[in-house]
Amino acid sequence: METAICGRISLSPNHFSHPKPGDKNHFQKQWAIRNVMAMPIAGVGKGGGLLDQPVIEKTTPGRESEFDLRKSRKMSPSYRVLLHNDDYNRREYVVQVLMKVIPGMTLDNAVNIMQEAHYNGLSVVIICPQVDAEDHCMQLRGNGLLSSIEPANGGC
């Protein structure tokens, strides 16, 4: 009558009395005193006065989803964003656009990229996942610069 049945515990006066050392149900009584008050009542009015054991739901913390996002981005193929030389935009403007569009772009890097495109006709702006590369390319084009992307590994 006072035994646990199918994941439930029965409520009896013995479970709520303080266990004495050496008592044969010492640990069961300690567990009941600590945990029985926090459990929801199951089947009120069904007789027996039994409590359900708490259901532990597996939840995914936000960190795992952020990690999965970073992991998928790292695994996606890398693309080069290329800046092409043009005869329409001033050098200062190209540097300003590069610094505005590319996150973390410093003045020195922007000047070097602009100079390389000016003298060689083409310069690599950044290497990043395809989604980001397409976004950067479209932003550069939206600001009047000639830009394209290509796979970073040299092939498709």
> DSSP string of 94-126?
HHHHHHHHSTT--HHHHHHHHHHHHHHSEEEEE
List the chain pLDDT tens, one digit each, 156 residues: 444 444 444 555 554 555 566 655 655 555 555 554 444 555 455 555 556 666 665 555 555 566 666 665 557 789 999 999 998 999 999 999 999 999 999 999 999 999 999 999 999 999 999 999 999 999 999 999 999 999 998 655
Q: At the topology level of CATH, where does 75-151 sit?
A: Ribosomal Protein L30; Chain: A, (3.30.1390)
pTM of the model: 0.53
| Concatenated DSSP letters of 55-84 | P------HHHHHHHHHHHHHHSPEEEEEEE
Q: Where are the domains of the chain?
A: 8-52, 75-151
